[in-house]
């Protein structure tokens, strides 16, 4: 087996805290959430397993203690499109799409829109996938499976998993600017004055 | 490609910056060596990214070398050089040079078909100039030329379809980069990662370009997939009002984030190589910074040129 310290990228002399930090960082990097419905899921979960094993080994070596890993599983209910679902599960996206396209327009229900969205998502057509998930949620508002797919698509668009989030403002790239520094000082001064002291004598 | 795939300098380590420049300058020299001095003009950040990605797949032996810059003889540049003519590294630069030539030639051809006769004169002239080199590059890497040809055909079909969705319009560019990137992998696992990375990077580039051109295309009445997506047909031939423009920018940004959310997980699975830090910088910081500059700071193309390295 490979050296567990090498897997986590820390030296064997690292403290427990450093090992934990390295593990958390890597676990976030390969977290299954960002790979759901992706052909890379298997590779990522292999990586994840490797990291979990390495961390477990180190912890066991050090303290005889074990921790759990991440697991991912989607909810599966009863389905009228079980053949389509099994094609999707097997990665046969073209076959799944052919079956879906054969369904006449009037009998396309919420599940049809959800599955079509999943197929589009797998093909990389993210915008149309999102529209189909939205439609599925509108037709069956209480369904957690459709809602989860829509949430995932919306989160990806918001920049949580990479990209730029305009609402984060400057903190995304610059950190604290000169304005923040002055504001902080003035605030601190006010606080000191409240308590009877003074941080900046001139104001 | 269009020069959008570049690092965010502020977050780079100095050694990463030096390495990036070394690869950039070495690619310029490869362009001169394989396709003639004129083709150095096609050098771009996108093709530098491709060279970095290719080099990072293996760990080729390389060393730095200082030489005079061909374009500016007063300046001395550091080049990254394959040690003892390391064949793999040399192929990487050759491939990136061919990509640069092929992309540029097809962009000229695209412009010729898009624009009116007078405007396309320049493009026609440049295309005629690049024709022989295009043939040479195509012969060197047939898979690349084949992918570019099918991209152009698919692009035309997608843009002239009755219902031109963003996804359908972005697909040809995405498929092109998917093929070109996947070729760099050796095992099936490597190829899977590179396929996803390439597809969504290509998609991001196409959509970034469309978002960047939206205002111009509206004014000139040119094709832009966002016009249909955001129902902006009423504003063709004029300017977008402020509120509409802000909404459009936010929507474009969300679509771009969607692609990056697929790029970053794929990039996490790339092998650890000498340029992993730079690749992560480009994909996790450089591309979001580009979105910020174009969509929220509204820095024009020409002004962006001046902010470059």
Closest listed residue to residue B131, CA positions, set B35, B27, B29, B45: B35
Most confident of A9-13, A148-152, A174-178, B159-163: A148-152
The answer to whether the Cβ–Cβ distance between B256 and A38 falls below 8 Å is no
B289 — contact with chain A (CB < 8 Å)?
A: yes
Residue A169 has pLDDT above 60, yes or no: no
The pLDDT tens digits for A98-107 are: 889 988 888 8
Size of interface A-B (CB pairs under 8 A): 119
Chain B residues with CB-CB distance to A177 below 8 A: none
- How far is B75 from A150, CA to CA, in rounded Å? 54
Question: What is the C-alpha separation between A23 and A48, in angstroms, rounded?
Answer: 10
Shortest distance between the Cα of B214 and any Cα of chain A, in A, equals 18
Q: Is the ipTM of this complex over 0.95?
A: no
* Yes or no, beta carbons of B268 and A39 under 8 Å apart: no
With bands split at pLDDT 50, 70 and 90, how would you rate the model's confidence at A78? Answer: low
pLDDT reading at A187 higher than 80: no
Q: Label residue A72 by pLDDT band (50, 70, 90).
A: very low
**Residue B13, by phi and psi: left (phi above 0), alpha (psi -120 to 50) or beta?**
beta
Distances in Å between the alpha carbon of A46 and those of A39, B14, B189, B192, B294? 13, 34, 11, 14, 38
Who wins on pLDDT, A61 or B291? B291
Q: What secondary structure letter does DSSP report for B282? A: I
Per DSSP, B70 falls in state S
Output A68 or A110, whichever has higher pLDDT. Answer: A110
Q: Is residue A11 very low, low, confident or very high in pLDDT (cuts 50, 70, 90)?
A: confident
Best mutation site among A164, A166, A172 for testing chain B: the one with the most B CBs within 10 Å?
A164
User: What are the C-alpha distances in Å from B100 to residues B45, B130, B141, B145, B202?
Assistant: 10, 11, 12, 11, 15
pTM summary value = 0.77
Least confident window among A14-23, A194-203, B106-115, B273-282: A194-203
d(CA A76, CA A85): 10
Cα B150 to Cα A56, B138, B146, distances in angstroms = 49, 13, 6
Look over chain A and give the mean of its residue pLDDT values, rounded to a whole number.
Answer: 79
What is d(CA B128, CA B217) in angstroms, rounded to the nearest whole number? 27
Cβ neighbours of residue B160 closer than 8 Å, sequence gap 6 or more? none
Judged against a pLDDT cut of 60, whether residue A2 lies above it is answered with yes
Q: How much is the pLDDT for B302?
A: 62
Measured between alpha carbons, how far is B111 from B103 in angstroms, rounded to an integer?
12
Q: Is the CB of residue B259 less than 8 Å away from at least one CB of chain A?
A: yes
* Residue A68 confidence (pLDDT): 38
State how far the Cα of A55 lies from the Cα of A52, in Å rounded to an integer.
5
pLDDT in tens, B254-293: 999 999 999 999 999 999 888 999 999 999 999 999 999 8
For chain B, say whether A153 makes contact (Cβ under 8 Å). yes
Q: Name the band, by pLDDT with cuts 50, 70 and 90, for residue A77.
A: very low
What DSSP string describes B107-149? HHHHHHHHS-HHHHHHHHHHHHHHHHHHHHHHHH-HHHHHHHH
What integer pLDDT is reported at residue B303 of this predicted model?
Answer: 65
In angstroms, the CA B271 to CA B12 distance is: 20
DSSP class of residue B239? P
Return all residues near B305 (Cβ < 8 A) that are at least 6 apart. none
CA nearest to B264, candidates A88, A155, A182: A155
Say whether pLDDT at A172 is over 60. no
Q: What is the pLDDT of residues A111-133, one digit of tens each?
A: 999 999 999 998 899 999 999 99
Return averaged pLDDT per consecutive 10 residues of chain B, 309 residues in all: 84 91 90 89 92 90 79 76 77 93 85 64 72 88 92 88 87 94 92 94 94 88 86 82 88 93 91 91 93 86 61
Distance CA A189, CA B1 (A): 53
The A residues from 114 to 133 touching B (CB cutoff 8 Å) are: 120, 124-128, 130
Nearest chain B Cα distance for residue A131, angstroms? 11
Chain A CB contacts of B200 below 8 Å: 124
Of A120, A124, A155, the CB nearest to B199: A124
HEC states along A166-191?
HHHHHHHCCCCCHHHHHHHHHHHHHH
Q: What is the residue extent of each domain of chain B?
A: 9-306
The answer to whether B225 touches B298, Cβ cutoff 8 Å, is: no
Do B258 and A47 lie within an 8 Å CB cutoff? no
- Count the neighbouring beta carbons within 10 Å of the beta carbon of residue B267: 23
Chain B hits for A38, CB-CB cut-off 8 Å, are 196, 262, 265
Q: B9-306 adopts what CATH topology? A: Farnesyl Diphosphate Synthase (1.10.600)
- The pLDDT tens digits of the residues spanning A34-59 come to 887 778 888 888 888 888 888 888 88
């Amino acid at each position: 087996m490979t050296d567990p310290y090498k897997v986590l990228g820390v030296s064997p002399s690292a403290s427990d805290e450093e090992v934990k930090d390295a593990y958390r960082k890597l676990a976030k990097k390969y977290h299954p959430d960002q790979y759901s419905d992706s052909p890379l899921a298997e590779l990522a979960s292999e990586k994840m397993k490797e990291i979990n094993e390495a961390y477990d080994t180190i912890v066991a070596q050090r303290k005889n203690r074990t921790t759990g890993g991440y697991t991912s599983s989607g909810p599966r209910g009863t389905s009228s499109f079980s053949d389509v679902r099994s094609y999707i599960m097997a990665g046969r996206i073209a076959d799944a799409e052919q079956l879906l396209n054969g369904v006449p327009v009037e009998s396309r229900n919420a599940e049809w829109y959800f599955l079509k969205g999943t197929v589009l998502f797998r093909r990389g057509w993210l915008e149309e996938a999102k529209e189909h998930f939205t439609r599925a949620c509108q037709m069956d508002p209480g369904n957690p499976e459709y809602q989860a797919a829509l949430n995932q698509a919306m989160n990806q668009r918001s920049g949580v998993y990479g990209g730029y989030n305009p609402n984060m403002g400057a903190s995304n790239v610059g950190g604290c600017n000169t304005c923040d520094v002055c504001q902080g000082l003035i605030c601190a001064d006010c606080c000191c004055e409240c308590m009877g002291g003074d941080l900046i004598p001139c104001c | 490609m269009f020069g959008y795939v570049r690092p965010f300098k502020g977050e780079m380590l100095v050694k990463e910056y030096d390495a990036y420049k070394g690869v950039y300058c070495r690619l310029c020299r490869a362009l001169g060596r394989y396709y003639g001095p004129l083709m150095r003009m096609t050098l771009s950040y996108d093709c530098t990214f491709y060279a970095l990605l290719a080099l990072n797949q293996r760990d080729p032996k390389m060393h730095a070398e200082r030489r005079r810059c061909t374009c500016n003889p007063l300046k001395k540049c550091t080049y990254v050089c394959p040690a003892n003519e390391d064949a793999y590294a040399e192929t990487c630069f050759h491939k990136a040079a061919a990509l640069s030539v092929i992309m540029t030639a097809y962009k000229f051809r695209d412009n010729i078909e898009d624009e009116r006769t007078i405007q396309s004169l320049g493009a026609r002239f440049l295309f005629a100039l690049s024709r022989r080199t295009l043939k040479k590059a195509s012969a060197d890497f047939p898979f690349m030329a084949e992918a570019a040809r099918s991209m152009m055909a698919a692009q035309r079909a997608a843009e002239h379809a009755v219902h031109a969705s963003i996804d359908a319009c972005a697909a040809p560019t995405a498929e092109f980069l998917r093929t070109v990137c996947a070729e760099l992998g050796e095992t099936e696992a490597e190829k899977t990662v590179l396929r996803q990375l390439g597809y969504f990077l290509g998609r991001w580039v196409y959509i970034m370009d469309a978002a960047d051109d939206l205002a111009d295309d509206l004014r000139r009445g040119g094709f832009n997939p966002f016009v249909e997506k955001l129902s902006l047909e009423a504003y063709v031939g004029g300017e977008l009002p402020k509120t509409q423009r802000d909404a459009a920018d936010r929507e474009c940004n969300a679509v771009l984030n969607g692609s990056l959310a697929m790029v970053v997980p794929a990039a996490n699975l790339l092998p650890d190589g000498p340029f992993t830090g730079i690749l992560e910088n480009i994909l996790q910081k450089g591309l979001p910074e580009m979105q910020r500059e174009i969509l929220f700071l509204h820095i024009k193309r020409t002004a962006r040129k001046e902010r470059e390295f």
